[in-house]
Amino acid sequence: MKTVTITSLLAALTLVFSAFNWVSPSVKSKPGNSKNTVQYSNADSIQSIWTPKPFDNNETPKKIPLEYTVRPVQGHSVTEESLQNATSISEVIPNYPSKWIEHYTSVEIASTLNNQTVKVSGPDEKLTSAQKELFNSATVSTNLDITVHFTTENNITKKMDPQQMNVLLSVVPAVNASYYGGYKIMIEYLKSETQSVVSNLEITRGKPLEILFFVAPTGDLDQVSLENSSGNTEVDAALIEVISQMPKWKPALTANGTPVKQQYLFILGLEGC
């Protein structure tokens, strides 16, 4: 019985060693040495499996490149011509939900240009004479904030609940201001002028540097101001200087070809954000 058990145990061990591709150690004698040295022919393969790759402390993490963006400052765009021809707010607000707004409380229109705001209210979606006058006076870069107050029936209580909808419209020119040579050339210019300044700049995700500026009817850039800091005052000042010193642009144009002022936003943030 003992012989059978020992035989079975040896057979099991043989299978285990075979599964791990075990190679029996060979015994070699070094010349002049009475002791034998045991060498395993598969030692390297065992070490490669069980020894982890050492961490390289000198490895430099990849830096996410900065992305340059320049775009007009605007909400939902609307032209001067559309405002002048409008008789209701539904004609200038895209996809206005006329069908499910039945009970109006009031409609307020606030017109803002150069930090000056004028507000005019009406009873419903149809424009009053004062609201039409406000629309007619709106020029390029004017922001129109339309607030609609209304009520809807609550399906549970059957009472009329107050609701509010806000829409921001920006009066845009027929032709946007543009950089001579095109957008790609402008971005290349900005990168070349700011590379030394931003080379070591660290910008966190979700908090890009933002600079506002106007393209005047002459094509000059003015009213350059910091909207959101990079966190480094020296970098902020240097980039404001670069924007201020940019070459002239082609100014924005109205439908009749008149040059007008237009506001733009320069954004410097992490690529892909």
Distance in angstroms (rounded) separating the CA atoms of residues 58 and 187? 34
Residue 15, C-beta contacts closer than 8 angstroms, at least 6 positions apart: none
- What is the DSSP secondary structure assignment for residue 62, as one 8-state letter? P
pLDDT in tens, the chain (273 residues): 544 555 555 555 555 555 545 444 444 444 555 444 444 445 444 444 445 555 555 554 455 678 899 999 877 889 999 999 999 999 999 899 988 888 999 999 999 877 789 999 999 999 999 999 999 999 888 899 999 999 988 889 989 999 999 999 999 999 999 999 999 999 999 999 998 888 767 665 557 899 999 999 999 999 999 999 988 898 899 999 999 999 999 999 988 899 999 999 999 986 544
Residues 239, 193 contacting (CB under 8 angstroms): no
Question: Residue 124, Cα to own-chain centre: how many angstroms?
Answer: 37
pTM tops 0.85: no
